[in-house]
Structure 1
Amino acid sequence: MAASDLAQTSTNPGPEQREEILAMGERLFGTGSPDFQRTLLRQVHSSLWLPSSQTPDQRKAAIRAALWALKEIVPSDAAEGLLAAQMVATHNGAMECFRRAMAEGQTFEGRDVNLKHAQRLSKTYLDQLAALDKHRGRGQQTITVKRVNVEAGGQAIVGSVQTSMTGGPAQPRAPHWRWREGRRGGVRGLRSRN
């Protein structure tokens, strides 16, 4: 469904509302290309479950909810726009599988199959969310220390160190293992606290 089609399906939008809906495309998909916007809007619309038993108001609400979800993802470029559209489709698919699994009169096998599909789609959604964070540079960063030299008289912490949320100094967690000093100040080995 193109943005212009969406504008016409809204509840009698005035000229100002129609312009707002048409301008929404760049905020939804991170690009100003009208063809790109129309294609993704059509794809997102096709991914929605809009049965004929729903009233026109229910269908419009579902479309508005999907557009709201796209808007809240705030894609900054075309790649994020594509991912945002996939995330909305994946979420809608997972929720439909959950709905079908819980339908009255559903067989055990039908429930099992739908719950498995919902689980896969939910995992896919989390993977998409991680990909979006990675693309935005907010992915989890890990530092691995391969080798540490501790000179005589030095100290080392074996365990994890966490920084405080207020930006204060790091608070070391109590290590499970401690260095043991020998009689002449040299390091003899590791000793368990237990």
Structure 2
Amino acid sequence: MKIANIRRDDGGLNVSIEVDHPEPSLGHELISAAIGSECGDFTRGTLEALTMAAQKGEGVDERLMNYALSMVYGMHPKDQLEATLGVQMAAVQIATMKAAACLGASKSTQAMEAHERIFNRLARTFAAQMEALKRYRSKGEQRVYVERVNVEKGGQAIVGNVGRRGGEQGENGR
């Protein structure tokens, strides 16, 4: 992505986002595919959200924007919900690193404690987001893989898929 921070006559700032690809239409398709979207409005909204995460002062940092976009791409989102969570995770990661920098630069105990609280909250949020992504991708299913089973002499084993539906009772009434 190419970012241009353009100063307006009234002193405000406009940010221009352009796809950095020899064929812009193909570039847009690639970005849409990278974020798991088939909707142009969602792609534009996602890029705008990422620019908010990549703000530095009044403008947008192009390298930070590309970093955030690469984080979302690296998640390989399967749909728009995963992409949205990826954008949030990228924003939290960037904020966490900014908080870490402020923590490291703290000159007073009070400032250090404040930045430490912010850093810890952000780090916990990121871990919760990872867990949410894991649950969403697993669709609530829990899987147990048994790699090795030993059956002693006189024992019995079942080979194949074994399961019990909720609400059904076994032979013992359990």
TM over 0.5: yes
Contact 1:47 1:92 in 2 (8 A): yes
Q: Which residue of 2 aligns with 1:109?
A: 110
Q: TM-score, normalised by structure 1?
A: 0.60
What amino acid is aligned across from residue 84 of structure 1 in structure 2?
G
* Residue ranges of structure 2 left out of the alignment (5+ in a row): 4-15, 151-174
Residues in 2 aligned to 1:86 and 1:65: alpha-carbon distance in whole angstroms: 13
Q: 1:21 to 1:99 in 2, by over 3 A?
A: farther
Residues in 2 aligned to 1:97 and 1:5: alpha-carbon distance in whole angstroms: 26
Contact 2:53 2:94 in 1 (8 A): yes
What amino acid is aligned across from residue 90 of structure 2 in structure 1?
V
Q: Deviations over 1:10-49 (max 9, x none)?
A: 4xx533xx34431233233322111111112111111124
What amino acid is aligned across from residue 14 of structure 1 in structure 2?
P
What secondary structure does 1:96 align onto? helix
What secondary structure does 1:5 align onto? strand
Larger radius of gyration between Structure 1 and Structure 2: 1
Contact 1:94 1:122 in 2 (8 A): yes
Q: 1:141 to 1:26 in 2, by over 3 A?
A: same
For residues 74-89 of structure 1, the aligned pairs below 5 Å read: 74-89=76-91
Q: CA deviation at 1:111?
A: 1.5
Contact 2:103 2:116 in 1 (8 A): yes
Q: CA deviation at 1:2?
A: 10
Q: CA deviation at 1:168?
A: 2.1
Q: Which residue of 1 aligns with 2:34?
A: 28
Q: Which residue of 2 aligns with 1:169?
A: 149
List structure 1 runs of 4+ shifted beyond 6 angstroms.
1-4
What secondary structure does 2:148 align onto? coil
- Equivalenced residue count is 138
Q: Which residue of 2 aligns with 1:69?
A: 71
Q: Which residue of 1 aligns with 2:138?
A: 137
Q: CA deviation at 1:95?
A: 0.8
Q: CA deviation at 1:82?
A: 1.0
Q: TM-score, normalised by structure 2?
A: 0.66
Q: 1:80 to 1:95 in 2, by over 3 A?
A: same
* Cα RMSD, aligned residues only: 3.2
Q: Which residue of 1 aligns with 2:22?
A: 14
Q: 1:138 to 1:169 in 2, by over 3 A?
A: farther
Q: Which residue of 1 aligns with 2:169?
A: none
Contact 2:32 2:43 in 1 (8 A): yes
Residues in 2 aligned to 1:98 and 1:132: alpha-carbon distance in whole angstroms: 24
What secondary structure does 2:78 align onto? coil
Q: Which residue of 1 aligns with 2:129?
A: 128
* Residue ranges of structure 1 left out of the alignment (5+ in a row): 144-161, 171-194
Contact 2:2 2:18 in 1 (8 A): yes
The share of aligned pairs that are identical, in percent, is 20
Residues in 1 aligned to 2:76 and 2:2: alpha-carbon distance in whole angstroms: 19
